[in-house]
Amino acid sequence: MIHPDLDQYVVRFDSSSFPTLRALLAGGQLQQVLTGVPGWPSAAVYQPLVRVTVHGDARVHLGRTELSAQLHALPSAAYEALLRRSDAYWQPAGLAELRTLFDTPDVDSATFRAALRTTLARPLTQDHTPHLAAPQHGCHADWRPDGTLLLEQGGTWFLLLAFELRSLVPRAQERRVYGIDLNDDPALCIVDAARTVQMIGGPHPLLETLRREHVTGESGAALSPTEIQLVRTLGYAAGRAPLEAALCHLLGEAQAVGVERLDLRTLQPRFLARSRERATLDWAMAWLPQALYRAGVKLYRVPAAHTTRACHRHPTQTGTVHGRAFHCPRCGAPQHRDVNAALNVLARTLHARHVEALA
């Protein structure tokens, strides 16, 4: 049964599970359905004919068949809902302490790698505590396993999980319109009409160091596939936390929100390879629109063309970007690149609202 009004989040199966999924399809445990999924026009959609359960951050069962999927790549409310519904959720012993160490400023990479290997050497333990959830996210979700679907597109398999989502954030009496520029450092630049600026999310020094030392092959720095998987999970959680705090603010304070209409063809090479940046993309494409919808906040996706290089004060004037500085020939003084872009997004959002009001 497909629930059109449930909130749906899509995570990727690991490629190691693709042959098993094809075998489940051939064995009649997956049934193709004709109803499409928004945003996936060319995907084949299947409904599992067996019970769906989850047993860890990467472990999902279809009946008795265990598969590996990136279950950590969910908004915190949905992640918490999975843990509540699971009869037996297995996590690394000491995961909470490892996450604290991962997010500790100036922690030495060798110290973290030693703690990582100690954690993974221990047996998994049954633990229903959402250690990877953001402390502040402003939503509650209930998982609906009977709304689960599987998607196959171009040989890659995805898991669609369905939730009932609601906002827990009280709405302010006076609400504002916000414009958001999406980037990688900071992840978000948020502005309102009063030109209040919020810079959300920055680089994670330890994560960048671990990546660099692994790639360059420094002594003792190479990570095993299991270690890489856990580091990616921690990186995703680190990226998710400030994004969800920003979403919590928008749920209470926003009358409307404008973001750029993203072209995934240009974003994916840069964002999908990195766990922290992947959280930013997931936030913009799925978490933000669904949470705003549940809170009654209008979302506008405005054209992204020239938001970085057009001056927000002189929209027909093209400027130059050097690092984080934007230079407009008519303004003279340099501006912050991301603030200028966010103000352009805000202006286009206000224009869209004006046109909408006249219609």
The pair phi, psi for residue 161, each rounded to 5°, is -110, 140
pLDDT, one tens digit per residue, over 80-109 is: 999 999 989 999 999 999 999 999 999 999
pLDDT digits (tens, 9 = 90+) for 194-240: 999 999 998 899 999 999 999 888 888 999 999 999 999 999 999 99
Phi-psi region of 332 (alpha: psi -120 to 50; beta: other; left: phi over 0): left
Instruction: Write down the architecture of domain 172-202+235-359 according to CATH.
Output: 2-Layer Sandwich (3.30)
Q: Give the pTM.
A: 0.90
Where does the pLDDT of residue 266 fall: very low under 50, low under 70, confident under 90, or very high at 90 and above?
low
Name the band, by pLDDT with cuts 50, 70 and 90, for residue 316. Answer: confident
Give domain limits for the chain.
Answer: 1-89+128-168, 172-202+235-359
Is pLDDT of 160 > 80? Answer: yes
> What pLDDT is stored for residue 107 in this prediction?
95
Kindly indicate the confidence band of residue 281, based on its pLDDT and cuts at 50, 70 and 90. confident
- Mean per-residue pLDDT, 296-312: 92
Q: Let me know: does 280 contact 188? Beta carbons within 8 Å.
A: yes
Average pLDDT score over the chain: 91
Q: What is the pLDDT of residue 264?
A: 59
Is residue 174's pLDDT more than 80? Answer: yes
The pLDDT score that the predictor gives to residue 263 is 65
Q: Is the pLDDT of residue 2 over 60?
A: no
pLDDT at 270 over 50: no
Strands 254-260, 176-182: pairing kind? parallel
The reported pLDDT for the residue numbered 271 is 39
Percentage of residues in the chain having pLDDT higher than 70: 96
**Which of 117, 76, 53 has its CA nearest to residue 282?**
76
- For 347, other C-beta atoms within 10 Å of its C-beta total 19
| Band (3; pLDDT cuts 50, 70, 90) | very low
Q: CA distances (Å), 88 to each of 53, 60, 84, 267, 348, in order? A: 9, 11, 10, 37, 48
Percentage of residues in the chain having pLDDT higher than 90: 76
In this predicted model, what pLDDT tens digit does every residue of 7-37 receive, in sequence order? Answer: 999 999 999 999 999 999 999 999 999 888 8
Alpha-carbon distance values, 350 to 93, 162, 258, 292, 338 (Å): 50, 33, 8, 17, 18
Which one-letter DSSP state was computed for residue 286?
A: I
More confident residue, 163 or 218: 163
State how far the Cα of 49 lies from the Cα of 75, in Å rounded to an integer: 26
Q: How many CB atoms lie within 10 A of CB 144?
A: 18
Residue of 61, 200, 90 lying closest to 134 (CA atoms): 200
| Cβ-proximal residues to 355 (8 Å cutoff; 6+ apart), any chain | none
Q: What is the predicted pLDDT for the residue at 186?
A: 86
